[in-house]
Amino acid sequence: MVQMSPLPPEQALQIRGASPQDAAALATVMATRGGTPSDSAPAAQRLLEHAPVLLVAELTCSDGSRVVGWSGATVTSLRPQEAGQWLTAGLTVVPELRRSGVGRCLLQAVVDAVEKLVDGPLHSVVNARNAPSLALHRSLGFEVVDTGPCFAGIEFDGGAGVLLSYRRPGAPRPRLQGGPLL
């Protein structure tokens, strides 16, 4: 179960497509996972230029608005020499708003956006130590399909990552190349 602390009523959250004007804000949110906004700026720019799905969470209150989270989806290989598949990208929320429902809104919006583009599954990789993220994914219908030290070129701190998959209810269960039946 994901425990949430709702946003105060005077604040409004909007999930929207990212735009080039969001580059600096995107880099700032990305840096909350480590590094500085300057370190994250090139990755933010690549996402803005190439990610088929890139969303930001914008929080508005009486003194203005700011980007407080981001996520997206790209097509990438989950394992070496494997065909590309849809994979969530960087579900990140600023620390002071984690477990407030922002991540849930972002991840659901990514699922909805990918469903409009393709019929196939959407995958996500999460560090096995990140229990809140695993619980969030499961609560939205993602299922664990594999574990391992590396997926999509991501090597996991502690050596254990979890590959999850989401598909529309009633959709056929595809087989990952070289992997288990989903």
Closest to 138 in 3D by CA, of 153, 129, 148, 126: 126
Q: Which domains does the chain have, with CATH numbers?
A: 12-166 (3.40.630.30)
Residue with tokens 């994901």: 2
Cα dihedral value 152, 142, 130, 65, nearest 10: 90
How is 101-121 classified by DSSP, letter by letter? THHHHHHHHHHHHHHHH-SS-
Q: What pLDDT does 167 receive? A: 87
Q: Are 140 and 165 in contact (CB under 8 A)?
A: no
Question: Could you list the mean pLDDT of each consecutive 10-residue stretch along the chain, which spans 182 residues?
Answer: 55 93 97 94 96 95 91 94 92 93 96 93 95 95 94 89 87 50 36
Q: What pLDDT does 2 receive? A: 41
| Count of Cβ atoms closer than 10 Å to residue 134 Cβ | 19
Q: What pLDDT does 5 receive? A: 57
- Give this prediction's pTM: 0.86
Tokens coding 119 = 């019929």
Q: What pLDDT does 59 receive? A: 93
Q: Are 89 and 48 in contact (CB under 8 A)?
A: no
Q: What pLDDT does 48 receive? A: 96
Cα dihedral value 172, 178, 179, 180, nearest 10: 60
